[in-house]
A and B are shown apart, each in its own frame.
Chain A
Amino acid sequence: MVKKKEYKEWPPYAPGTYVRESDIREKKITYTWWEPEVQYSWSLGPAMSKFLQGLKAGKIYGIHCKRCKRVIVPPRMFCEYCFGPTEEWVELKDTGIIETFSISYLDPDARRIEEPILVGVISIDGASPQHGFMHYFGEMTKDDIKIGMKVKAVWKPENEREGSITDIIYFKPLNGGED
């Protein structure tokens, strides 16, 4: 049997020349830095377009599957359960409950931060149970947040909305988070 090697330090010491951030900043070493232009255009399709245009107008749209009798949000053009076409648009409330959450001490660039970011999945009221999307939570601390908490969307001012999921800034506790 191969004996597992135990390291005293991690990452293990390896001979070589290390490059530090200061070496780059102070131009102590020579290097090549290149920023490629990588632009993309993602076609959203009819369902997602309607959903985002709804957000611009301050509304959350779901879509109804007649056969499975469920309201799907974010909307899809077909039902993933029965593969049938979804038919009827439903206007949902901008409230919901916290389904899952995460307390993140890393920012989107993976840098360590003092004040954690709260993110999670919200089941939207009016949609079928456990149907919703992911978003930020605000006006609460990492000690307040709990699964099943009632939350409400905080919208950007109408003139700043651009048809993006960030037209909702975050979800805040509703009635102190009690049912």
Chain B
Amino acid sequence: MGSLEKQTDPTSPMHWRGDMQADYFYPSGVAGDKFFKHMMRSDTFLASKCTICNKVYCPPRLYCEDCFEEIPDNNWKEVPPIGAVRLFTVAKLNAHGKKLANPKIIALIDIDGTDSAMLGIIASNDINKDITGVKVKAVFKPKDKREGTIKDILYFEEI
């Protein structure tokens, strides 16, 4: 008996199965809150412009990252949801490492009229095409279905 006894039945050691709860909560912050609430009402983006170095941020920032200057409320502006692809990658696996039936194109998009870029999914079936520099436009969810998250942008499509 005991540990000198040889284990012959591979099913006898038990396994304890469990589910760890690790909920993740991320508030958008003051600037992010304004940006998403604006996006829930209209099909444009909100950007903020530094008063000293004139750098335009989209998504907006409360402080300039370059000169640390606070950006006042009256220096915010609307920008169209249009931009040019700076670079892109093709995802053939999902977040769990499983193969995707339809590969996704994920791109970094320079938003027009700003000095910032946003990540977005490009709606295109041709994954072999070089889309660097191509002009794209954001397609939003129907207004009544928007929730105030980045997922309110469904994808970007070529114009």
Contacts and interface: CB of A to CB of B under 8 A. Distances in A.
Interface string B115-151: 0000000000000000000000000000000011110
Nearest to B15: A41
A88 B24 contact: no
Interface centre among A34, A52, A53 (most CB of B within 10 A): A34
Chain B interface mostly: mixed
A35 B24 CA distance: 6
A102 interface: no
Interface stretch (B2-10, B49-57, B103-111): B2-10
Contacts of A49: 12-14
A95 interface: no
Contacts of B19: 37-40
A154 interface: no
A86 interface: yes
B13 A33 contact: no
Contacts of A37: 19
Interface stretch (B26-34, B73-81, B85-93): B26-34
A89 interface: yes
10 contacts: A17-B30, A24-B27, A31-B149, A32-B24, A33-B26, A37-B19, A38-B21, A38-B22, A39-B20, A64-B2
Interface of A: 17, 19, 24, 27, 29-49, 52-53, 63-64, 77-78, 85-89, 163
Interface of B: 1-4, 7, 12-28, 30, 32-33, 36-37, 147-150
Top 7 closest pairs, chain A to chain B, by CB: A30-B148, A87-B2, A38-B20, A30-B36, A85-B3, A34-B24, A49-B14
